[in-house]
Amino acid sequence: MRILFKNIKELIQVREEGINFISGKAMNELPTIKKAYLLIEDGVISEFGFMQNCPKIKTDYEIDATGKMILPTWCDSHTHIVYAGNRELEFVDKIKGLSYQEIAEKGGGILHSAKLLQNTTEEVLYKQSKVRLESIISMGTGAVEIKSGYGLTSESELKMLRVIKKLKKTYSLPIKATFLGAHAIPEAYKSNKEAYIQLVINEMIPLVAKEKLAQFIDVFCETGYFSVSDTKRILEAGKQHGLIPKIHVNQFHSIGGVQIGVACNALSIDHLEQMTNDDIDTLKNTKTMPVALPGCSYFLGIPYTPGRKMIDAGLPLALATDYNPGSAPSGNMNFVISTACIKMKLTPEEAINAATLNGAYAMGLQDKVGSITVGKQANIILTKPISSYHFIPYSFGESQVETVYINGKEII
Ligand code: NIG
Ligand code: FE
């Protein structure tokens, strides 16, 4: 099957050579081709270039993209889209001024979501989750990571991961699964956190690894959740079972989790709303991708990750939604990109790089998606007619996505 896009106003994020990720000043460079063509063969990008060099070959479909742009789909490297129900009931408490921690102490928070999930069947959980997955694809996401962490028992954590496995089988975009058993200390272990850590290490991790249900392991490293030394133990145990570390860290406090993440060779460390200069220095010249989640800062009213400062210090940065019921109930990457520009002072070029190439790296998918490169999956966004790609973040709360293609197949 051969599909040819012709007369593309601008083909964005064109990379001749595959690259792992981009950092610092290079993040402000977004290579494009104006007046371009793009050829897709059997779901893979096979050729692109200036329209004047467009090949005259037999195709199955030709799409005239006059006035429109094409870019790789968003790579959302941090979500929790498998959850039961929602936490709408906390919304008004939050508006009235209760903090994330106060809501959790009142019986809301992660433990509330865990109770709901434990009482939801795998089938119902799948049905609720697939609606969210379809919604994010329609908004331009073409690769996604999904975490467990609302089960908090062996049975329910596996239930979540099996739902992710089923989503993977049913949908053709790349999906990576992360085991986040250490997301919160369950009620039953309130006065014996150590016993829960033992359960995670000795029972859950081996089960997850045996059924090959996850590629990554994550921990919520935060005051009141899992300490830096708990995090280290859990990540090391995961590594022994072939799981690659990621962490939720520095959301509310800088407690040394960044250093542990780097020491454990975490693929990504995520949140980073509170960053000390030492945290920034620790990340320099490492392979660990810092991931900002501006939707969470927006929703909780907490500081934004100092993305400007981090990029100026030479670091790479990825952007993700954190789509979850408690701190970011939206999976809209277009909004995330706008918010990164408006609130974190990223340029549109930096934000688009962070949401494509660097997001792909944060999921270990840099060879498959994240740029317009020959051989990569044809997961692309065809925009509405727009004047420049700056219009994508500029028109916040709107979507410039006209059609999404996954492996060259039209989705909306
Ligand atoms: O990434 N911070 C920890 N975990 C999620 C929120 C979970 C929840 O509140 O349900 C996050 O923000
Ligand atoms: Fe999260």
pLDDT in tens, 267-308: 999 999 999 999 999 999 999 999 999 999 999 999 999 999
**In angstroms, what is the span from residue 110 Cα to ligand 1's centroid?**
7
C-alpha to C-alpha distance for 219 and 146, rounded to whole angstroms? 14
Let me know if 55 is exposed, middle or buried by CB neighbors in 10 A (0-12, 13-18, 19+). exposed
Nearest-ligand number for the alpha carbon of 300: 1
Largest CA distance in the chain: 71
pLDDT digits (tens, 9 = 90+) for 54-93: 999 999 999 999 999 999 999 999 999 999 999 998 999 9
Closest among 120, 104, 88, 86 to 187, alpha carbons compared: 104
Is it the case that residue 243 has pLDDT exceeding 90? yes
3-state secondary structure labels for all residues of 27-80: HHCCCEEEEEEEEEECCEEEEEEEHHHCCCCCCCEEEECCCCEEEECEEECCCC
Q: Which tokens sit at 218?
A: 């994550």
Q: Are 160 and 197 in contact (CB under 8 A)?
A: no
Q: Is the CB of 299 under 6 A from ligand 1?
A: no
- Provide CB contacts within 8 A for 192, sequence distance 6+: none
Q: Is the CB of 113 under 6 A from ligand 1?
A: yes
Three-state secondary structure call for residue 97: coil
Q: Which atom of ligand 1 sits closest to the CA of residue 270? A: 1
pLDDT tier for residue 163 given thresholds of 50, 70 and 90: very high
C-alpha to C-alpha distance for 307 and 355, rounded to whole angstroms? 13
**Class level of CATH domain 74-361:** alpha beta
Q: Are 262 and 283 in contact (CB under 8 A)?
A: yes
Q: Is the CB of 248 under 6 A from ligand 1?
A: yes
Q: Is the CB of 251 under 6 A from ligand 1?
A: yes
Instruction: Give the pLDDT of residue 18.
Output: 82
**In angstroms, what is the span from residue 368 Cα to ligand 2's centroid?**
24
Closest among 319, 346, 380, 410 to 69, alpha carbons compared: 380
pLDDT tier for residue 105 given thresholds of 50, 70 and 90: confident
Residues in the chain: 412
Query: For residue 33, what are the β-bridge partners?
Result: 11
**In angstroms, what is the span from residue 79 Cα to ligand 1's centroid?**
10
Instruction: Give the pLDDT of residue 412.
Output: 62
Q: Is the CB of 349 under 6 A from ligand 1?
A: no
The best mutation among 145, 250, 324, 330 to test binding of ligand 1, ranked by most ligand atoms within 8 Å of the C-beta, falls on 324
Q: What are phi and psi of 382, to 5 degrees?
A: -100, 120
Instruction: Give the pLDDT of residue 107.
Output: 84
Nearest-ligand number for the alpha carbon of 225: 1
Is it the case that residue 17 has pLDDT exceeding 90? no
The CA-based angle 215-218-219, given to 5 degrees, is 160
Residue-wise over 74-96: b if at least 16 C-beta within 10 A, else e?
bbbbbbbbbbbbebeebeeebee
Q: Which atom of ligand 1 sits closest to the CA of residue 328? A: 12
Atom 9, ligand 1: residue with shortest CA distance = 326
Give the β-pairing of 32-41 and 74-76. Answer: unpaired
The best mutation among 77, 80, 147, 250 to test binding of ligand 1, ranked by most ligand atoms within 8 Å of the C-beta, falls on 80
Q: Which atom of ligand 1 sits closest to the CA of residue 104? A: 9
Least confident of 119-128, 148-157, 323-332, 403-412: 403-412
pLDDT digits (tens, 9 = 90+) for 123-151: 999 999 999 999 999 999 999 999 999 99
Atom 3, ligand 1: residue with shortest CA distance = 220
**In angstroms, what is the span from residue 80 Cα to ligand 2's centroid?**
6
**In angstroms, what is the span from residue 297 Cα to ligand 2's centroid?**
12
**In angstroms, what is the span from residue 78 Cα to ligand 2's centroid?**
6
Q: Is the CB of 326 under 6 A from ligand 1?
A: yes
Side chain identity at 8, as an amino acid letter? Answer: I
Closest among 279, 296, 333 to 75, alpha carbons compared: 333
**In angstroms, what is the span from residue 3 Cα to ligand 2's centroid?**
37
Domain ranges within the chain, ordered by starting residue: 2-72+370-410, 74-361
Q: Is the CB of 108 under 6 A from ligand 1?
A: no
**In angstroms, what is the span from residue 29 Cα to ligand 1's centroid?**
32
C-alpha to C-alpha distance for 144 and 355, rounded to whole angstroms? 11
Architecture of the structural domain at 2-72+370-410: Roll (2.30)
Q: Is the CB of 259 under 6 A from ligand 1?
A: no
Atom 10, ligand 1: residue with shortest CA distance = 326
Q: In the sheet that 289-292 helps form, which strands lie side by side, from edge to edge?
A: 74-76, 141-147, 175-182, 216-221, 244-249, 268-271, 289-292, 318-319
> Mean pLDDT over residues 24-29, rounded?
98
Atom 5, ligand 1: residue with shortest CA distance = 327
